Chain A
Amino acid sequence: MSLALPVLAEPALFELQIRDHLFHPSVLYVPAGEKIKLLVLNQDPSPEEFESFSLNREKVILGNSKATLFIGPLQPGQYHFFGEYNSDSAQGVLIALPEEQWQQRRADNAN
């Protein structure tokens, strides 16, 4: 019997950039069913707030700064997010893919 403590896996890291009050990418694919770490880099000089009611997250990112959000585990589906300070332009969607589709997407991107 092992007495070793379980090693908690670090959540997969995804990156989102804010430039000219737009999210890049505006569509972000992530795996469903596991927690993810989302690094949001605000390259604009003004602050922006990442907000999503369906993800239950809101986070202010100061100008030329970055912030980390922890999201999920999510059910497969689409989750809309927007920039509260510039909601006319800063819009995006996070798509959580089921395991099979996520693996397929990774394989396609690797080829």
Chain B
Amino acid sequence: MRFSPSVFYAVSGALMLLVSGHSLADGRVVDKVYHPYVQALERGVEYRYFYQRQADHPDNNTMGQKLGYGFSVAERAALEIYLVADRVSPEDYKLSGYELELRWMLTEQGQYSADWGMLFELERQNNQDNYEFTTGLLMEKEFGPTSLTLNMLAVYEWGKTLNSEWEAEFRAQYRYRWRPAIQPAIELYVGENYKGAGPSLMGVHKFDKQKQLKWELAVIMAIDNDTVDRTLRFALEYEF
């Protein structure tokens, strides 16, 4: 398929228009958009950061960080363990919980019209006996030198200070694979009390052999009145 920039703009526009109807999930809606791929022998450490800003919004000054260590446990499955820290104003910044994540690659890349994977996450909130289980489908499809990635997730929360409930989250990323170090994209997030979209930039820098550093930076802006105005998302992943 021959690529023209108009395809990138058209799909970007379609993603922006996708946001309609009722949304569910709360918590950290703006997070990594997962690709449905796993490599045998993959191993890495990962750092993620997000920060939200709007002077008169209850989520103003909210900040979250994750530090993870991940490795493949089979040719098509990878585990990652995270420490989660956040600050929900006016509370102090603290280590808030732990998370275990399993990614499962369902189809070989390029074999079918789209590539599929699954995500399973279990998070425990420190000292509160609150839990969050997330699962869902990861999809990616190539359009010439661009890739569309969709995450369709279901979230179940329960615990001492939480009402048990199912929620839904949707994440999308449309990326132009311009060059390894610089790949512009547009991202979209829909969850409970959150609907946002914005530009992002990502890339990879290779060192020796399989050692490489991946980076992602996104500025996500509210697209309805309930959502906090601006969210900054940043991630670094070192694979070795």
Contacts of A17 on B, CB cut-off 8 Å?
Answer: none
B141-153 near A? 1/0 per residue, CB < 8 Å: 0101001000000
B110 and A85 form a contact (CB under 8 A): no
B177 and A70 form a contact (CB under 8 A): no
Given contacts A75-B2, A84-B209, 8 further A-B contacts (CB under 8 A): A35-B110, A57-B110, A59-B39, A60-B42, A62-B40, A69-B109, A70-B110, A75-B144
A60 and B2 form a contact (CB under 8 A): no
Q: In the complex the two chains form, what is the Cα distance from A71 to B179 in whole Å?
A: 19
Chain A, range 53-71, C-beta contacts under 8 Å to B: 53, 56-60, 62, 68-71
- A residues lining the B interface (CB < 8 Å): 35, 47, 49, 53, 56-60, 62, 68-73, 75, 84-87
Q: In the complex the two chains form, what is the Cα distance from A69 to B147 in whole Å?
A: 18
Contacts of A87 on B, CB cut-off 8 Å?
Answer: 209
**B interface majority secondary structure:** loop
Q: Indicate if B159 sits at the interface (CB-CB under 8 A).
A: no
Q: In the complex the two chains form, what is the Cα distance from A59 to B42 in whole Å?
A: 11
A71 and B110 form a contact (CB under 8 A): yes
Q: In the complex the two chains form, what is the Cα distance from A67 to B147 in whole Å?
A: 23
Chain B, range 57-114, C-beta contacts under 8 Å to A: 108-111
B147 and A53 form a contact (CB under 8 A): no
Q: In the complex, what's the smallest C-beta–C-beta distance from A51 to chain B, in angstroms?
A: 9
A49 and B39 form a contact (CB under 8 A): yes
